[in-house]
Amino acid sequence: MEFEIVTGSVESLETDCLIVGVAPDGELAPSADLIDKASAGYLKDVVGDHQGKAGQALLLHKVPGISAARVLLVGIGKADERSDRNQLKIIKSIMSNLKSIRCESAVIALDGLESADKDLYRQLRHNTEWASAELYEYDATKSKKAEPLSLESIGFLLSKDDAELGEFSISDGSAIANGVDTARELGNLPGNVCTPSYLAEQALALAEDCEELTITILEEDEMEQLGMHSLLSVGKGSSEPSKLIVMEYKGGEPDQPPHVLVGKGITFDTGGISLKPGGKMDEMKFDMCGAASVIGTMEALTQLDLEMNVVAIVAAAENMPAGNASKPGDIVTTMSGQTVEILNTDAEGRLVLCDALTYAERFEPATVVDVATLTGACIVALGHQATGLLSNDDLLADDLLAAGEFSGDKAWRLPLWDEYQEQLDSNFADIANIGGPAGGTITAACFLSRFTKKFRWAHLDIAGVAWNSAGKAKGATGRCVPLLCQHLLAQVDDLADDEQI
C-alpha cells in the first residue's frame, strides 16, 4: 500500500473515493462543506440520513460538481469525544468500507478532526499505522490465498504548508506499520514452521537489505561455552536446537553506546514437564511474540534510518516435555554464575531471558529493554489493554510510558520493590524461578532484575496485549513494536538536543 500526501482543491481531486467528515449535529467538516457547495447542497440533502457518530459511514456515488468518483461521508463524533480511540474507530470504518468497494485510490480529507490531537505528525502517523493494520491478512499456511485488494494508494489531504511534515509522518508510520506486520506474521505462524532456526533465518534475511545491520547466530555449543545453562535447559526436551540471535544496527557513531532490546522467543511452550492444560495450548505458538516484536522493531529501524546504535538479542527455544527435559527441582547455573532452582518448568521465559540479559552486558549499553509474554498474572492485573512495565530506572520507565502514550501502545508501571524479592528465596540455589501466585508479574521481573544490576533496564510484559483470542480477530497484534519504535525515535531526538547544547 502506498500512502501519500495530497494538496490542492478538494473539489478537483481525482480519486476513486474521497472521504470527508460530518459531526452528529449535521455540521459538515470544512472539506465536506466545500464539497457541499460545489455540488449545490447535495451533501446537506442527504446528511439527515447520517447521525455523525464516530465511524458511521455513508457511501455516495456521482456527487455533482466534483472530480471524485465517490464520496464516503464518515462520522467524526462529538467534539468532546475526539480521542485516539475515536480516531481508531474512524480509521477502522474507513478501511472496512474501502475494502468492500472496488477502487484503486482514496483520499482522506477529514481536516484533522478525527481526533482532538493538535500534533499533525502524531495524528497522521497513527492514521498510516492503523490503516495499514486493517489491510493485514494472514494466509501463509492457507491453500487459498487472500484476494488481492484493488486499493493501491491512500492519500491524506493537507495544505501546502503542512505537506513536508506530512510526508515525514507517513514515512515513519509506514516503517512502523511494516514492523508491526512482520511481528504479526511471525506470531501467527505455527510452531512447526516458526522454530528457533526459522527466527534466525528471518534475521539473516533482514540484514541482506541493510548494510548497517549485522547478524550473529550463537548455536548451542557456543552458548554452552559461555555458560548459558539456564537458557539451554529450556530447550533440552526439544529436537529443535535453541538459538541466541544477535542483531546489531550500527547507524550511529562507533563509540555511541547502543540501546539493547531483548526478546523472549519461545516458539512453542508446552510448559515442559510442568505441562499446561490442553485447552488453548495452541495459543502457545504466540509465546515468541516478544522476539517477534523485537525483530519487527529492527525491521522498522532499517527503514526509519535512525542515526543511533541498537542491538537486538533474541533468546529462542522450544519448551517440550521429554525424557531429558528439565524437571521441577533441577538446578542450573546461569551465565552470570548465579544458580537457579527450577520449581516450575512452565516459568521458562525468565530462564532464557536471564542469560540473554547477562550477554547484553558486553555491549556496554545505554539502556536495555526486554520484551516477553512472561506471565498470565499480567493479564489478571492489566487485562488486554496495557503492557506491564517494571524497571530499575525511573527515567527509562518514564521514557517508555511516554512512548506508549504517544504511540497509542500503552504501558502501565508496576512496582519493583525489594520486599517482593524474598518470594524467590530457595533452600537449594541462589534463586528460585517462581515466587508463588501473589504478585506473579512483579516476582518474575524481580527474578530478571537479579541479572540487570550493571545497566539501566526495563521489562515489558506483553502477555495481555500480544495476541487476540476471540473469533475472527484471533491472532498476533504486533504490540509492542509501536512503543519500542517511538522509544527509539525519542532517544534520537534527545541525542540531537544534547549535541546542540
Give the H or E element holding residue 380.
Answer: helix 376-382
Report how far Cα 90 is from the mean position of its chain's Cα atoms.
Answer: 21
Strand 259-269 and strand 309-319: pairing? Answer: parallel
Q: Answer for the pair 166, 158: CB distance below 8 angstroms, yes or no.
A: yes
**CA 356 – CA 348 distance, rounded (Å):** 13
How far is the first Cα of the chain from the last one, in angstroms, to the nearest whole number?
40
Residue spans of alpha helices (H) in 192-268: 196-207, 220-226, 229-234
Q: Active site residue: 276, 327, 413, 454, which one?
A: 276
Q: Answer for the pair 445, 461: CB distance below 8 angstroms, yes or no.
A: yes
The amino acid at 323: G
Active site residue 362: no
CA distances from 168 to 57, 122, 220, 399 (A): 29, 11, 43, 22
Rounded to 5 degrees, φ, ψ at 143 are -70, -30
The 3-state DSSP class for residue 423 equals helix
Hey, which residues does 422 pair with through a beta bridge? none
Tell me the HSE value of 192 on the side-chain side, using a 13 A CA sphere: 2
Q: Which residues contact 376 (CB under 8 A, 6 or more apart)?
A: 440, 463
Q: Active site residue: 70, 125, 350, 479, which one?
A: 350
**CA 248 – CA 212 distance, rounded (Å):** 8
Cell numbers that stand for 426 in this block: 530457595
Active site residue 89: no
Sheet holding 57-61, edge to edge: 2-6, 153-157, 105-109, 17-22, 70-75, 57-61
Catalytic residues: 276, 350
